[in-house]
């Protein structure tokens, strides 16, 4: 049965906003992406930023999903940023059929073309059944994955890789390689053009390391085996629901040292350093195309807390 999209009446906007905000809070807490008061603070900032003018925000559309008989099946929220259209909230009263999901994607594609978008991006939490049913097998690919490991495990493993604080002499080479590598990954993920990727990679590095190696809360290490450098590790210390939380900002095994198990040992080292720094959890981001890294992290007990899927137009 075909579905149609119609704008949400202005008189229903506040009700929808309150319900969508609560869905975001509950979803983040359930997935572990953000927990406790962190989920509330994020949701409030999120809606204030993306809907600064409420229902009149020109880059946002809240739509009713209607069946052929004009019965309402649910709502969805679309936001245009640059040339990327984000599907940020999908709420349906009952599970849509495959045909209805086909029709819904077709309607979203039409809106995307009308708004000048070149990509559709859909962030999804693991438990978002309606969202996954919508994008599965309909031209979307996993661009990026957020993961968490909690609590930190106590592993009885020998430490063959030694991690030591990065020296000032080593730091400039690290910055150059890390910025270039992240830009390449952004392009490979399909999320950025080469020019935009270079700018975004530089922006994020400056934001994380405004004072270089002396930036508080940033822990950078070189990894060695028998005095030979085999890789680097970068942990950014965060706060998660009032507790110290480590985030793996960069981890790299040197090209000539790969396939020796050092990647796994570096992750074990990250756990040890995180615990030493007072954290009880570790988070990380991995690009969807990096299947080997995803497999490694999941084998270590990391679980997915959010995925972003993309479809090119």
Nearest to 54 by CA among 26, 30, 82, 20: 20
Among 79, 107, 139, identify where a domain stops: 139
Residues 6+ apart with CB under 8 A from 128: 27, 90
91 within domain boundaries:
yes
Are residues 172 and 95 located together in one domain of the fold?
Answer: no
Residues 6+ apart with CB under 8 A from 298: 147
What is the tally of structural domains in the chain?
A: 2
Beta carbons of 235 and 248 less than 8 angstroms apart: yes
What are the pLDDT tens digits along the chain (313 aa)?
Answer: 689 999 999 999 999 999 999 999 999 999 999 999 999 999 999 999 999 999 999 999 999 999 988 999 999 999 999 999 999 999 999 999 999 999 999 999 999 999 999 999 999 999 999 999 999 999 999 999 999 999 999 888 888 899 999 999 999 999 999 999 999 999 999 889 999 999 999 999 999 999 999 999 999 999 999 999 999 999 999 999 999 999 999 999 999 999 999 999 999 999 999 999 999 999 999 999 999 999 999 999 999 999 999 999 9
Distance in angstroms (rounded) separating the CA atoms of residues 172 and 127: 42
Q: What is the pTM of this model?
A: 0.94
Are residues 11 and 122 located together in one domain of the fold?
Answer: yes
Beta carbons of 63 and 75 less than 8 angstroms apart: yes
At residue 156, the pLDDT reads: 85
At residue 1, the pLDDT reads: 64
Are residues 108 and 244 located together in one domain of the fold?
Answer: no
Distance in angstroms (rounded) separating the CA atoms of residues 293 and 287: 9
For residue 265, the enclosing domain spans 162-307
147 within domain boundaries:
no
Residues 6+ apart with CB under 8 A from 255: none
At residue 157, the pLDDT reads: 86
Are residues 125 and 21 located together in one domain of the fold?
Answer: yes
Residue 206 CB-half CA count within 13 A: 6
- Residue 67 has phi, psi (to 5 degrees) of -85, -175
Are residues 229 and 302 located together in one domain of the fold?
Answer: yes
């Amino acid at each position: 049965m075909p579905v149609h999209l119609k704008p949400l009446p202005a008189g229903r906007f506040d009700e929808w906003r309150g319900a969508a905000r609560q869905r975001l809070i509950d979803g983040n807490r359930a997935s572990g992406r953000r927990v406790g008061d962190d989920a509330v603070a994020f949701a409030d900032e999120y809606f204030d930023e993306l809907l600064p003018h409420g229902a009149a925000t020109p880059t946002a559309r809240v739509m009713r999903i209607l069946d052929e008989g004009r019965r309402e099946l649910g709502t969805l929220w679309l936001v245009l940023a640059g040339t990327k259209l984000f599907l940020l909230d999908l709420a349906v009263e009952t599970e849509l059929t495959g045909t209805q999901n086909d029709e819904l994607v077709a309607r979203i594609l039409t809106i995307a073309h009308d708004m000048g978008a070149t990509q559709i991006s859909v962030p999804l939490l693991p438990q978002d059944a309606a969202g996954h049913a919508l994008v599965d097998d309909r031209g979307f690919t996993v661009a990026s994955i957020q993961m968490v490991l909690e609590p930190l495990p106590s592993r009885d493993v020998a430490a063959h890789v030694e991690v030591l604080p990065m020296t000032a002499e080593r730091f400039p080479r690290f910055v150059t390689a890390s910025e270039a590598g992240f830009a390449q990954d952004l392009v490979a993920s399909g999320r950025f053009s080469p020019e935009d990727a270079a700018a975004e990679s530089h922006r994020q590095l400056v934001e994380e390391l405004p004072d270089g190696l002396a930036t508080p809360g940033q822990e950078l290490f070189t990894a060695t085996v028998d005095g030979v450098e085999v890789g680097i590790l970068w942990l950014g210390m965060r706060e998660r629901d009032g507790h110290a939380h480590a985030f793996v900002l960069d981890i790299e095994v040197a090209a000539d040292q790969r396939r020796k198990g050092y990647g796994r040992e570096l992750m074990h080292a990250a756990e040890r350093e995180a615990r030493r720094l007072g954290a009880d959890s570790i988070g990380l981001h991995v690009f969807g195309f990096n299947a080997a890294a995803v497999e490694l992290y999941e084998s270590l007990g990391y679980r997915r807390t959010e995925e972003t899927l993309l479809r090119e137009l």
